[in-house]
Amino acid sequence: MYENGYNVEPKWKEECGVYGVFSRTEDVSGLTYLGLYALQHRGQESAGIAITDGAWMDVTRGMGLVNEVFRHQVPHMENQCIAIGHVRYSTTGSSLLCNTQPLMVNYSGGKIALAHNGNLTNAAEIRHELEEQGTIFQTSIDSEVFVNLIARSRAETVEEKIIESLKKIRGAYCLAIMTEDKLIGARDPQGFRPLCLGKTEEGSYILSSESCGRNGGY
């Protein structure tokens, strides 16, 4: 690559950051905000946080930096126990509010929210197959393929649904997935997209695209 007549090394872009917290004692949304702030270098287009109290689930998303999206208030819920977050650098899909993450949907098994970093090489193929079967997509990002595959799976548990769905996917990815009572992390078999697992001094579990995010909240 040449800049101003000089041969320079290409600059790698991190392509999104994901974060997740499970805790019965700590402020999961606050920890997620701090974690996303630490991961801000991985995406500056948009940010979002999804939270649950074990029954109800809500998501707040917006365009801009983490401190801009949550300038007035970090989302909060009484008795919240799980949160996942996302900062975006778009690799597929336009930089629009509808393409911000985490994605949150209702399906027959309950509610699910998902934050994704990576690229799927067969996303267009799977999307076409799902559309032919009547699936409606609300975004233009390949992350929505994950959500629809999970929702359509006939496996019994959510863990089995996720495993079944991931077997259909090709590419590099890591995921933070939240149900009403579970935080689940996943990454591609080769580990091309990093996903760190951490634990706070109070025993809360952390998922993060980088170890700097794992330490962002404590």
The neighbouring-strand residues paired with 60 are: 49
Tokens of 46: 């948009």
Residues ≥6 apart with Cβ < 8 Å to 209: 14, 16, 17, 18, 19, 39, 42, 117, 174, 193, 194, 195, 196
Q: Collect all residues with Cβ–Cβ distance below 8 Å to 29 and sequence separation of at least 6.
A: 49, 51, 74, 75, 76, 77, 80, 83
Catalytic residue list contains 81: no
Half-sphere exposure of 188 toward its Cβ, with a 13 Å CA cutoff? 17
Q: Note the residue count of the chain.
A: 218
Dihedrals phi, psi of 2, to nearest 5 degrees: -115, 135
How many angstroms separate the most distant Cα atoms in the chain? 59
> Which are the catalytic amino acids?
16
